[in-house]
Structure 1
């Protein structure tokens, strides 16, 4: 599989050369982050102590493997370190993402002038600068992916001015105990190297972090309290890396906790080699390597809604926006921030981004910091394809295909329990399944508050992986096997009713309650609809690959008997077949809008089903924009569904709500507490407003709001692997540019496009066919750009 992934990376990157963005995007502040410590009076889903300062004010950097939160302090700087495989028993016994280490820099500059801390999204470099006693001090931080190193540089404009102490701390250490929540750890200092080592009891997980301290000038010495002191240096560099004995392999999901990491290599040798190579390269080469790698991804997409860049700090800009003062720059910034966070938390070879992305300061991350499959992990990847970052989906592919064997076992057990008559005794023929909860160490099966449709919801990502890239190797090696295995499972969850329809039984609409309990039924809209999506995608994949067998024929019949969509007495798309009026069953303003997954990210409800579209609109409107206390991801899903309804102004209202009610000072999204998914869902929603392609044609500016009357974008991607750019004024497009990355026929819809002029890369006019309804189509060549002038 890795050979195929590497080939895809080479081919895909050839289409995606870095471009210069129209402006600098940065989060910046005129004071350090607070660091007042955790509040032990609050416990958020066992994620304690609650640390408002970490969640609201610290700035995140990451390279997929590691994440660091930076506080930018002048007295005692705090660098909080995370590593995604670092886990304890967790809230549910399946493993929980936990804080790796704290690194303090005792600088003791207790006052500062002209202070500024910044996170530049254009190059993923964070900086701090200030004056103390008439000396200008500055710090620079970045997380390098190719070398898996976090680098920090401290310098001043006067030689010999850098004096501080590096003080490492291993948090949440406990003796081994019968509950198996123990964690050991020691800190060793030898010359210019700090080593932090220990083990986590529950998984017999070894972990290690090394910090190499390189001083230029001055004096470096070890202190009695296990720290490194720098005195009167011209500059100092810290090289940081961390890892555990975790290995992503099938046994992690099949063995009991104490055996999951048994026999694995201790991380010491790999970490030592990483540090040695980073020292050999040197700081400047590491920075150059990081910048080139990162910008190749980030610079692919440019969005311009306003040419002005505000001159006030980000927290003040956000506060002003929340009081009603518009800022297109902030809206652009949040869009690009989602892309930045995805690059920082999802790289090949690392685990996927979890509920907290790749950052966590708690002993027990809220809800275990896992991969929740009833919307959260899917939302993490909603912007990956349409914002031109397709290779960032590889971590989920690697994760999913590694847990697949355990998922097959879960599927067999599920069918044995719920529909034994459909059980196939042959190994693997019951397919695979996934429930809501999953971590780096374990996965669940459907049940409780989410039904079997969760699997179809997940394989939708696999179909989009192919549909956006049109890479046949992806289809053959990854998409088709995922779809086929899931279809084999889902086909066995269906039972015939008296009318000959096939109904998922048991069935649950995720997390919805009725009369105080999770409501279980037959054939809720979410389950039936996601089964339909999986079957439809499998049949399409089979057609492309020319694979037709007896099972394909079964699916061809079963898909016609699903009957997934029903309209109620209130004109609403029903969540349950048995409901009559809206809110007969469940919470009427529930955070989940699972029955509307058929509209987004599904495609069953679309422009060819106007009655269903209207019913979806009614249900979405009645669900409301504010789902109780829940902000963040519930608003982000609503944003994307309103975009699919082509209602740009209502979609914009949701985007505005995310920024006004669901975002903290560091622009992290608030659920509450902090969850990363709305950052990704918000970015996906903006892209969906500006470009849609799920109906068999490209539709730029499909849900353009009145608030964005003038603007442009470059580099968004449509299905068929077309890279699209657009320019508009007073709400009307003047030009589209289409880069055909696979050479397929281009179909595009826009009002008045039948009168457009199309010019190819050589300046020659291109003939096109006007199919009516403001849709045209024309032939393309791979690698050629076509300019459509309106």
Structure 2
């Protein structure tokens, strides 16, 4: 199969641009050969700085809150959670800016754009110009090569939505700017929601030219050149999660020019590095329409075109984006990976750790990209360290705890309205982020068998186990979590009251089952907790009590954590109950929810239901038109929540890998898969015909 995205026009919207990245620098290439825009990101550019935003008197409200939940006083529980047990919004991941190339006499028509996933090289060309772009991990530079037989005349500029200044200095175009100290999410507009302040990060970028150019006051001028290369370096003055930003980001950016290599060497070095990772896995599902532009392929696939390798392309795209967004030494992927054009982005483009950040890393190991997992564990460490303060301030407990949202500074408090005046209990009052994240680290160990990793993660497991030993409270003769929720969902109690706060929802059971199983591997003693509850209708209960659902098709499948991603073995009875629960949840949903359901049906060995969801995830979404309520794919194959969230790309890739490794293959697929990683240390190598494995 061909691993290329292909278009016959420039990108008019950001969700049509082509993504490139080296884990640290992100670039969205529009391919406009009249006025080119390459949208830039740098993975450490965030708002804020290290600070303790835990509510220091929250702990005195813990017992009243628990009492209200256990007694069924929903109104009082909600009031206490919102007004007295709240936290603060996490910080925001920010856009760096844009590189603009203004071509004199350039044309917007007749442009062909391509992104080759196997080389991580994007091209845009017409009859006059060929533009080749990549982001090199070895060189830590964005590289743009422009060729033209007629000669190129252009202005090259830098721009940012953040406060900034541009200038040239000898042979370098420079941008320097400031990140905000305060940057609240776009749905919150009370008080001071955006402020530069004095303590936040600074950022800098620099552009050099291989070729002839003139450096004007604040732009580069190129006149009638046939072959030039732009080298772009980006940096911030971020040091680490507990240190105030300091130093000179321009010096850091300029350091990447210390050993500049010729363009051809940079390209060769980049392709060698990228293909060593991407080339480990090959798949082919039997039918292909690679001669059709990708945006049209999506539309024709929805109408029934025979194009199974569009699914294979979606799978490989998830692997490609993993390499682009997460490499050793970088920060963990955000809700948008490393690609974000908004100052006040949806959900602040931060770390949502009640599913989304974890989903970002589901496909790393099984898709043979274990090196790309490292930044996830580094984020877990930050949160574990900060979570010791949160455990004391909110729960009067030892150990460590974190809630549903975090940031580059390792936020662990229950993120939400900082003055406690709005409803945030449906998402903020959930304490199970760290055991889930550590379970994922342990799953990484199962694939790598890395003894140093086993030793490194042990103290973090101990911290979180210590918290639960203190936090679990007896209710009706069983140890339970309280207060807590089933993330972002609500129920109707026996009196018809709508509520979210509860004790021991099934997600907490599933997470702690696996967490305590993993703790035993370190020789730790663990508490006894209830089993997965099955309701009178044969489905898995979402809550400890058999409450009525307010939204049977809710996007979160939290109560099914016990099936996927959990490694804890479940009985046939629980698996059958999970199937009934999934059927009730349905086959629609937001983009990432579709990806999770693919994984669930794959783990339940139901290839056809998984395929239905994959097809739904490939539904074309127009970024410039009316947004449908369910998810799908934008023209550049980014996952549409909508809006864009990258987790759905990784979720569906993990689900397809799960299908292949379990032999749960749809009857529509004939082809092969090789290179997927198995936990026994071997790699998958199978052929299949009409869904049946014929050679292993």
Pairwise TM-score range, normalised by the shorter structure: 0.7 to 0.9
Q: Which residue of 2 aligns with 1:593?
A: 557
Equivalent in the alignment of 2:102: 106
Partner of 2:68: none
* Displacement after TM superposition at 1:94 (Å): 3.0
Q: Which has the larger radius of gyration?
A: 1
Give the structure 2 partner of residue 484 of structure 1.
Answer: 462
Give a deviation string over 1:499-526, Cα, whole Å, max 9, x none.
3x21112221001124696511111101
Alignment of 1:647 with 2:606, yes or no, is yes
Give 1:325 shift: 1.6
Q: Which residue of 1 aligns with 2:676?
A: 716
Distance 1:269 1:113, change over 3 A: closer
Distance 1:649 1:734, change over 3 A: same
- Alignment pair present for 1:145 and 2:141: no
Using the TM superposition, name which of 110-119 and 360-369 deviates more. Answer: 110-119
1:675 is displaced (CA, Å) by 0.5
2:111 pairs with 1:115:
yes
What's 1:602 paired with? 566
Distance 2:382 2:574 in 1: 38
The equivalent of 1:463 in structure 2 is 442
Question: Which residue does the alignment assign to 1:706?
Answer: 667
Which of 672, 681, 695 does residue 642 from structure 2 map onto? Answer: 672
Aligned to 2:43: 84
SS at match of 2:101: strand
Other-structure match for 2:64: none
- Contact 1:86/1:99, CA 8 A, preserved across alignment: yes
Q: Deviations over 1:561-599 (max 9, x none)?
A: 31131111211100012115xxx1332111101000010
Counterpart Cα distance in 2 of 1:235 and 1:191: 21
Cα deviation code 1:702-738 (max 9, x no counterpart): x211121x111111111132212111223332322xx
1:155 lines up with 2:131 in the alignment: no
Alignment of 1:330-479 (within 5 A): 330-416=310-396, 423=397, 430-445=398-413, 448=425, 449=427, 450-478=429-457
Please list, as runs of the form range in 1=range in 2, the aligned pairs for 1:123-522 lying within 5 A after superposition: 123-131=119-127, 136-158=128-150, 161-173=151-163, 185-202=164-181, 203-216=199-212, 220-223=213-216, 226-249=218-241, 251-252=242-243, 260-261=244-245, 264-277=246-259, 279=260, 281-306=261-286, 308-416=288-396, 423=397, 430-445=398-413, 448=425, 449=427, 450-478=429-457, 480-499=458-477, 501-514=478-491, 519-522=500-503
Q: What residue is the counterpart of 2:533 in the other structure?
A: 566
Q: Name the CA distance, whole Å, in 2 between partners of 1:284 and 1:188.
A: 29
Preserved contact between residue 104 and residue 153 of structure 2 (Cα < 8 Å): no
Contact 1:197 1:209 in 2 (8 A): yes
Measure how far apart 1:309 and its partner are: 4.9
Q: What are the ranges of 5 or more consecutive residues in structure 1 without an aligned counterpart?
A: 1-22, 35-52, 174-184, 253-259, 417-422, 424-429, 543-547, 692-699, 737-790
Let me know the Cα RMSD of the aligned residues: 2.0
Give the one of 525, 533, 539 matched to 2:506.
Answer: 525
CA distance in 2, matches of 1:469, 1:412: 34
Instruction: Check the 8 A contact 2:48/2:201 in 1, yes or no.
Output: no
Q: Which residue of 2 aligns with 1:19?
A: none
Evaluate the alpha carbon distance shift between residue 201 and residue 446 of structure 1 in structure 2; reply closer, same or farther with a 3 A threshold: closer
1:64: Cα distance to partner? 0.6
Separation in structure 2 between the aligned mates of residue 100 and residue 594 of structure 1, nearest angstrom: 34
Do 2:384 and 2:402's aligned partners in 1 also have CA atoms closer than 8 Å?
no
Does the 8 Å CA contact 2:172/2:215 hold for their aligned counterparts? no
Aligned counterparts of 1:600 and 1:193: Cα–Cα separation in 2? 51
Match of 1:419 in 2: none
Distance 2:602 2:42 in 1: 35
Structure number with greater CO (CA < 8 Å, separation at least 6) is 2
Deviation for aligned residue 1:33: 0.8
Verify the 8 A CA contact 1:94 1:442 in the aligned structure 2: no
When normalised by structure 1's length, the TM-score is: 0.75
Q: Which residue of 2 aligns with 1:58?
A: 17
The residue number in structure 2 matching 1:663 is 633
Separation in structure 2 between the aligned mates of residue 94 and residue 296 of structure 1, nearest angstrom: 36
Q: Distance in 2 between matches of 1:60 and 1:156?
A: 24
Give the paired residue count: 616
For 1:390 and 1:415, the matched residues in 2 are separated by 35
Distance in 1 of aligned mates of 2:552 and 2:285:
36
What is the deviation of 1:93? 4.7
Secondary structure of 1:195 counterpart: strand
Aligned to 1:427: none
How far apart are residue 191 of structure 1 and its match?
Answer: 3.8
Segments ≥4 residues shifted beyond 4 Å: 89-93, 515-518
Shift of 1:442: 4.1
The answer (yes or no) to whether the contact 1:61–1:67 under 8 Å persists in 2 is yes
Query: Offset at 1:336?
Result: 0.4
Q: Deviations over 1:102-153 (max 9, x none)?
A: 111001445366531111001000011111xxxx420100000122100000
Q: Return 5+ residue gaps in structure 2 as ranges.
A: 50-86, 182-198, 416-424, 620-630
Residue in 1 that maps onto 2:189: none
> How big is the shift at 1:166?
0.4
Aligned to 1:690: 660
Higher mean Cα deviation, 289-298 or 517-526?
A: 517-526
